[in-house]
Amino acid sequence: RAKADLAHHVCYYDQSMDDVVRARRCLVNDLRAAIDNNQLAVHYQVQTSVSTTQIRGFEALLRWNHPEHGFIPPSQFIPLAEENGLIVQLGEWVLRQACADAASWTPPYKVAVNLSPAQFAHADLHKLIIEVLMSTGLAANRLELELTESTIFQDKERSFSVLRQIKALGVNIALDDFGTGYSSLEMLRSFPFDKIKLDRSFINEAEDSLQAKSIIRAVLTLGKSLEIPILAEGIETEGQLSLLGEEGCDEAQGFLLGRPIPIGMLVESGRISLNAEAASGQGPRVKTSIRS
Ligand code: C2E
Ligand code: MG
Ligand code: MG
Ligand code: MG
């Protein structure tokens, strides 16, 4: 609480204040206090099978409800947090929250958590993942980490060795926003990803653009031959879903199937229920077998 008050004294918002740097600094201070002040939440967006639309899991997406500015989208505060290293703390909070939530829901669907470049570069990542899995009791194979090509591309040798270490725990690795980064094909050859998420931009144009359709086809063929499931991001229409189905896409995510929503609404929608053990307040179990 003291922290928040401090933040508000130092950091007042003025309509006439056109100093972008100062505004950004204010936002950073607020973001720093946001964790302690319960302004952050994780929302979950469903991921389904394309052919059966059965639920496969949920992607955890961070939300910030700012006391004055209201809802601030991740596209605005994640890059900011990335620049000044705050993302490491935020990311740890998201990972912990998402794993705790997933450990409490049934059926045992997976949870996918985004990792930013700074988080991935952090030396303690491997240790953190082990600690969070142990303390939340989530089985390692129910966690999936989403990384983009550019995150991995920064230092490929190190990236692949860290990814191998994490994968050895049983945690799944997904390649996010595929098709928008660098060196895609080489990256696919070098690492056994558990999933490739084809970027929304291709799905957007799938029905109107022959090129987009050709790229989708090529990526699906690639996925088949490498035996890596492909998830299509940003499915908004029935037309897109059936097109992806015809082309043999494995999984889908998008507003058509469900928007990101709080865990409470997921329960209300009947898509998950909270298991009795978690609900009865006994707390999460500690599993010691995550290394096996
Ligand atoms: P992403 O990981 O590619 O997440 C998917 C984004 O697409 C989400 O935006 C989601 O709401 C949006 N989306 C899903 N389906 C549709 C659709 O059918 N149409 C449209 N127009 N959009 C759709 P969101 O939640 O605003 O997040 C944006 C980005 O911010 C994410 O892209 C991810 O890169 C980053 N992000 C979000 N949460 C976290 C987090 O906890 N940690 C880190 N490091 N990054 C995060
Ligand atoms: Mg993602
Ligand atoms: Mg994505
Ligand atoms: Mg994205």
Centre of ligand 2 from the C-alpha of residue 252, in Å: 13
Mutate which of 35, 43, 78, 257 for ligand 1? The one with the most ligand atoms within 8 Å of its CB, which is: 78
What is the mean predicted confidence (pLDDT) over 243-252? 97
Predicted local confidence at residue 273, as pLDDT: 95
What is the mean predicted confidence (pLDDT) over 247-265? 97
- Please answer whether residues 30 and 11 qualify as being in contact, where contact means their C-beta atoms are separated by less than 8 angstroms: yes
pTM of the model: 0.90
Q: Which helix (H) or strand (E) holds 167?
A: helix 156-168
Cis? peptide before 107, omega within 30° of 0? yes
Closest ligand 1 atom, CA of 199?
Answer: 3
Predicted local confidence at residue 266, as pLDDT: 96
> What is the maximum alpha-carbon separation in the chain?
59
Nearest residue to 199 (alpha-carbon basis) of 221, 215, 210: 215
Looking from the CA of 86 toward its CB, the CA atoms found within 13 Å total 17
Centre of ligand 1 from the C-alpha of residue 101, in Å: 19
Q: For residue range 86-125, what is the model confidence (pLDDT) as tens digits?
A: 999 999 999 999 999 999 999 999 999 999 999 999 999 9
Predicted local confidence at residue 181, as pLDDT: 80
Nearest CA to ligand 1 atom 37: 61
Q: For residue range 174-219, what is the model confidence (pLDDT) as tens digits?
A: 999 999 887 678 889 889 999 999 999 999 999 999 999 999 999 9
Residue 65 in this model has a pLDDT that exceeds 70: yes
Nearest residue to 86 (alpha-carbon basis) of 142, 137, 24, 130: 24
Pocket of ligand 1 (CB under 6 A): 45, 61-62, 73-75, 78, 91, 94, 114-116, 146, 176-177, 234-236, 253-255, 260
Q: Residue 92 is encoded by which pair of tokens?
A: 């740890």
Mutate which of 64, 90, 114 for ligand 1? The one with the most ligand atoms within 8 Å of its CB, which is: 114
Share the mean pLDDT of the chain.
Answer: 88
Q: Residue 12 is encoded by which pair of tokens?
A: 């007042």
Predicted local confidence at residue 6, as pLDDT: 38
Q: Residue 161 is encoded by which pair of tokens?
A: 């060795």
Q: Of all residues in the chain, what percent carry a pLDDT higher than 70?
A: 88
Based on C-alpha coordinates, what's the Rg of the chain? 20
